[in-house]
């Protein structure tokens, strides 16, 4: 009798194990939760507030970054810096931001001839002397004072690089627009002077 008693028990254990095995493998994944459209979260359309410029003058930042250039060193130069790394962070900002300091040196000359001229000699041009110019580099406006030799400098502090933006220079009713990265010598018609 003991042998007969063990066989049904063994069969029951194997049968129950097989049932658990097959039902465990055949279990369905839980259904995806559905979200009612009227209760779905609405993505924020508010733009992140623009960072407030550092608490230092452009002159101080240029001194810290060693961006004081000779006026004859023409063209665009820029440096990226973190406001906290150089100690000029603005407390109104919620963190530390990277800024682009851009300095553009240029010489503005007036030509004595009118119309389009491809080849000009030095005696055919004269500098735009001691004049205030309004400028706009991308969206950043400012002004600069030309010296007696027609040299000027533009310094701008921006959250992104203005290298691929346009520079607009205005003197009275005259204006010109050119790529900021190509500004060096600028030759304009006589009516600018």
Confidence of residue 59 (pLDDT cuts 50, 70, 90): confident
Percent of the chain exceeding pLDDT 90 equals 34
d(C-alpha 22, C-alpha 111), whole Å: 93
Higher-pLDDT residue of 2, 18? 18
Q: What is the mean pLDDT of the chain?
A: 79
Q: Which residues contact 56 (CB under 8 A, 6 or more apart)?
A: 64, 88
pTM more than 0.75: no
Q: What is the pLDDT of residue 77?
A: 94
How high is the pLDDT of residue 51?
A: 61
DSSP secondary structure of 92-140: TSSS--EEEEEEEEEEEEEESS-S--S---GGGEEE--S-EEEEEETTE
- Count of CB atoms within 10 A of residue 26's CB? 7
Give the pLDDT of residue 37. Answer: 53
Which of 89-98, 124-133, 164-173 is predicted with the least confidence, judged by mean pLDDT? 89-98
Task: Name the more confident of 168 and 90.
Answer: 168
Beta pairing, strands 185-188 & 98-111? parallel
Lowest mean pLDDT among 30-39, 84-93, 153-162: 30-39
């Amino acid at each position: 009798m003991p042998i007969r008693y063990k066989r049904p028990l063994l069969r029951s254990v194997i049968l129950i194990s097989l049932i658990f095995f097959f039902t465990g493998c055949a279990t369905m994944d839980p259904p995806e939760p559905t979200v009612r459209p009227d209760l779905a979260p609405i993505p924020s359309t508010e733009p992140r507030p623009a960072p407030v410029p550092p608490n230092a003058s452009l002159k101080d930042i240029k001194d810290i970054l060693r961006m004081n250039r000779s006026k004859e060193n023409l063209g665009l130069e820029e440096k990226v810096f973190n406001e906290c790394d150089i100690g000029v962070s603005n407390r109104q900002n919620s963190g530390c931001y990277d800024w682009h300091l851009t300095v553009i040196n240029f010489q503005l000359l007036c030509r004595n001839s009118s119309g389009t001229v491809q080849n000009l000699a030095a005696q055919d041009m004269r500098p735009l002397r001691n004049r205030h110019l309004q400028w706009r580099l991308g969206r950043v406006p400012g002004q600069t004072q030309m010296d007696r030799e027609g040299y000027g400098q533009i310094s701008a502090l921006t959250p992104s690089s203005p290298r691929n933006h346009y520079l607009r220079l205005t003197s009275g009713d005259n204006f010109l627009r050119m790529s900021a990265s190509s500004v060096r010598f600028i030759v304009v018609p006589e009516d600018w002077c």
